[in-house]
């Protein structure tokens, strides 16, 4: 987060609320998609590492998606890792095995070969956070517009802070982190 963003959120509570709402909306959207996985994909066991189990996944040919986003599951293959003790998704790594068309290709498509890799980890007892997001997808929308979804996010070194931290105190902590990089 750049210093200007920190200042804007510190000065303008509505900017902070908007940012928090976007994070909440993104999390809810992700949860809706994750809930489709058991129906959309077929799984077979892979390795075990301590309390984690690997599952290889392929598309379920009987899955009938109800949204355009869910259609992507019909072309996904890869692996995921589950924490068996907490029943949590730790990691998912996959790719599109074929082109995904929307509206018969009229509305657009995603090219075969698109990749995604997402990790989350327990950063405090019972509290999980996204630590890696790497998405690289390409395609077209409405014939002409190129779709390029490239997202990279990596987060680490989580530390617990006081529950009663003010916005100004949080901003100062963020500034100190930026200065120490």
Work out the pLDDT band at 90, boundaries 50, 70, 90. Answer: very high
Mean pLDDT of 60-75: 89
Q: What pTM was estimated for this model as a whole?
A: 0.74
* More confident: 111 or 26: 111
* More confident: 155 or 133: 133
What pLDDT sits at residue 177? 72
Reply yes or no on whether the pLDDT at 35 is more than 70.
Answer: yes
Reply yes or no on whether the pLDDT at 57 is more than 80.
Answer: yes
pLDDT in tens, 140-169: 776 566 666 677 777 777 767 777 877 777
Task: For the chain, state the CA radius of gyration.
Answer: 19
Mean pLDDT of 77-105: 90
Q: Give the chain's end-to-end CA distance (angstroms, integer).
A: 12
Domain ranges of the chain: 40-156
Helix (H) or strand (E) holding 43: strand 41-49
Reply yes or no on whether the pLDDT at 1 is more than 60.
Answer: no
* More confident: 12 or 74: 74
Work out the pLDDT band at 2, boundaries 50, 70, 90. Answer: low
Diameter of the chain by CA atoms?
53
Contacts 24+ apart (CB under 8 A), 153-162: 155/129, 155/130, 155/131, 156/131, 158/123, 158/124, 158/129, 160/124
């Amino acid at each position: 987060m750049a210093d200007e963003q920190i200042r804007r959120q510190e000065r303008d509570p509505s900017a902070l609320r908007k940012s928090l709402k976007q994070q909440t909306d993104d999390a809810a959207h992700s949860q809706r998609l994750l809930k489709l996985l058991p129906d959309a994909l077929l799984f077979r066991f892979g390795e075990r590492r301590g309390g984690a189990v690997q599952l290889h996944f392929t598309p379920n040919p009987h899955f009938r998606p109800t949204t355009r986003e869910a259609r992507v599951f019909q072309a996904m293959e890869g692996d995921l890792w589950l924490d068996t003790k907490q029943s949590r998704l730790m990691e998912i790594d996959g790719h599109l095995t074929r082109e995904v068309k929307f509206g018969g290709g009229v509305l657009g498509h995603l090219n075969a070969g698109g990749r995604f890799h997402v990790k989350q980890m327990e950063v405090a007892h019972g509290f999980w956070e996204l630590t890696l997001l790497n998405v690289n997808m390409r395609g077209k929308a409405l014939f002409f517009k190129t779709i390029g979804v490239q997202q990279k996010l990596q987060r680490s070194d989580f530390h617990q802070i006081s529950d009663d931290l003010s916005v100004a105190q949080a901003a100062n902590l963020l500034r100190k982190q930026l200065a120490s990089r």
